Structure 1
Amino acid sequence: MSYFPAFIRFDNKKILIVGAGKIAFEKCKHLLDFTSDITIISRLYCDEIKELISSYSLDFIQKDYEKGDIKGFDIVIAALDNLSIQESIYQESREFNCLCNCVDFTNYCDFIFPSYIKKGDLTIAISTSGTSPSMAKHLKIYLQKLIPDSIEDFLKQMKEYRATMPKGKKRMEFLNDKTKEYISKWK
């Protein structure tokens, strides 16, 4: 079954990453594009995670995961080599009603991390629902080349128009024309 594409606001959402190796580092790096309200629990950690913890003032609890550690978190990422611990974290997430992602264990994922492009307010997510992460990666690279760096300035301008113009058909047509004009210059 495919995953439904949704964009989640992280305002007031507490995120827990269990594990602090290379995969946890990659997941944390992606999350930091959207929030820094991240706690990491792990007895061992890689140098890259240590640097993120320091640079972003992330909460870090240096210990092994224990049942109950996910209490109070909205989103949990289990990035451990031990699949039985990942499974127990997923089962526990059912009790605490939080979203869970067990890396490389899709049967225990409420959501997956898509490949994505982020330029200012523009975010494009690409997923093959785990079928071919390499396709998502290469499609991302292809699309990145198509999107001009000026997109951030354009979106700021559009945001200003939306904030200052009265709602209605005239505004909608104006914004639509501006967008079509901007995109036509990409060719």
Structure 2
Amino acid sequence: MSYFPAFINFENKKILIVGAGKIAFSKLTHLLEFSSNITVLSNDFNTEIENTIKENNLEALKKNYDSNDLLGYDIVIAALDNIEIQKLIYEDSRKQNCLCNCVDLPKLCDFIFPAYIKKGDLTIAISTNGNSPAVSKQLRIYLEKLIPNSIISFLEEMKEYRNTMPKGIERMKFLEQKAKSYFSSLK
């Protein structure tokens, strides 16, 4: 079965990352582009993660994981080398009704982290359903080179039009023509 592509609003979502290694750090840095409501739980933190936690005013829990740690969280990322603890976190997430991602264990994931491109308000996600992160990464690099940085200011302009023009068919036509004209100018 394939993963459904969806964009989640993290505004009121509490996120827990269990682990503090290289992969946990990667997940943390990606999530920070979308939320700062993140807690990192680990019995040991490397300097890189400690500095990121301090710089972003995040919560850090220095301890071993136990089942009560998921209380109050909406999303948990298990980024540990210990598969048994990842399985426990997944089982606990079922009881707490929170979304779970167990790194490198797709069968224990409600969602996966896609490769993505983020330029201002533009976010493009790329996924191979977890089958080849390397392909997703290379496609991201390829596509990122095709998207001009001017897209950021263009999207700001489009947002302003959308917020100030009355709703209706005329606005729709105007915005469609502006988008068409922008992309035609890139050729």
Which residue in the other structure is 1:164 paired with?
Answer: 164
**What is the TM-score with the length of structure 1 in the denominator?**
0.99
Which residue in the other structure is 2:150 paired with?
Answer: 150
Which residue in the other structure is 2:114 paired with?
Answer: 114
Equivalent position SS for 1:69:
helix
Percent identity between the aligned chains?
63
Structure-to-structure mapping, 1:63-142, within 5 angstroms: 63-142=63-142
In structure 2, give the amino acid aligned to 1:14.
Answer: K
Aligned equivalents of 1:108 and 1:185: distance in 2?
Answer: 45
Aligned equivalents of 1:184 and 1:47: distance in 2?
Answer: 47
CA contact (8 A) 1:44 1:62 kept: yes
Which residue in the other structure is 1:36 paired with?
Answer: 36
Count of residue correspondences = 187
After TM superposition, the runs of 4+ consecutive aligned structure 1 residues lying more than 3 A away are none
> What do the CA deviations read for 1:58-88 (whole angstroms, capped 9, x no partner)?
1001011111101100000000110000001
Question: Are 2:48 and 1:51 equivalent residues in the alignment?
Answer: no
Aligned equivalents of 1:128 and 1:57: distance in 2?
Answer: 33
In structure 1, give the amino acid aligned to 2:69.
Answer: D
**What is the TM-score with the length of structure 2 in the denominator?**
0.99
Aligned equivalents of 2:2 and 2:89: distance in 1?
Answer: 23
CA contact (8 A) 1:22 1:46 kept: no
Aligned equivalents of 1:81 and 1:47: distance in 2?
Answer: 19
Equivalent position SS for 1:84:
helix
Equivalent position SS for 1:125:
strand
TM superposition shift of 1:91: 0.4
CA contact (8 A) 1:15 1:76 kept: yes
Aligned equivalents of 2:18 and 2:169: distance in 1?
Answer: 49
TM superposition shift of 1:47: 1.8
Equivalent position SS for 1:148:
coil
Question: Are 2:32 and 1:17 equivalent residues in the alignment?
Answer: no
Structure 2 portions without partners, runs of 5+: none
Structure 1 portions without partners, runs of 5+: none
Equivalent position SS for 1:77:
strand
Aligned equivalents of 2:67 and 2:6: distance in 1?
Answer: 29
In structure 1, give the amino acid aligned to 2:17.
Answer: I
Aligned equivalents of 1:54 and 1:172: distance in 2?
Answer: 45
